[in-house]
Amino acid sequence: MIVVGCSAAETLFEHYISATTEYFQVTDRLCNLVGLHDQFDAAQRQTEQAGAKCRAALLAIEKHRVEHNCS
C-alpha cells in the first residue's frame, strides 16, 4: 500500500504499473510465438528486458519505502 500524499511513492507505483503492464503484454506475445524461432528469439529478449524493468521498478518502490518510512 502506498501512503496517500507521498507523491514520490505514487510516481514510483505508476512506473511499476506501467512496467508490469508492458511485461504482461510482451509475455503474452511471446506465448503466441512458440514455434516461430526468429520471432520468438526477439520476443524473448524483449520479455527479459521488460522483466528486468519490472523488477527494477519494484526495487525502487521498496527502497523508497525503507528510506522514507512509507507503508
Residue 2 banded pLDDT, cuts 50, 70, 90: very low
Q: pLDDT tens, 35-51?
A: 888 888 889 999 999 99
Supply 10's cell numbers.
Answer: 505514487
CB-based contacts of 65, cutoff 8 Å, min separation 6: 9, 71
Q: Which pLDDT score, from 0 to 100, does residue 4 have?
A: 54
Is pLDDT of 3 > 70? no
Q: pLDDT tens, 6-37?
A: 888 889 999 999 999 999 999 999 998 888 88
Distances (CA, A) of 31 to 3, 4, 11, 27: 36, 37, 30, 6
Q: Which pLDDT score, from 0 to 100, does residue 71 have?
A: 63
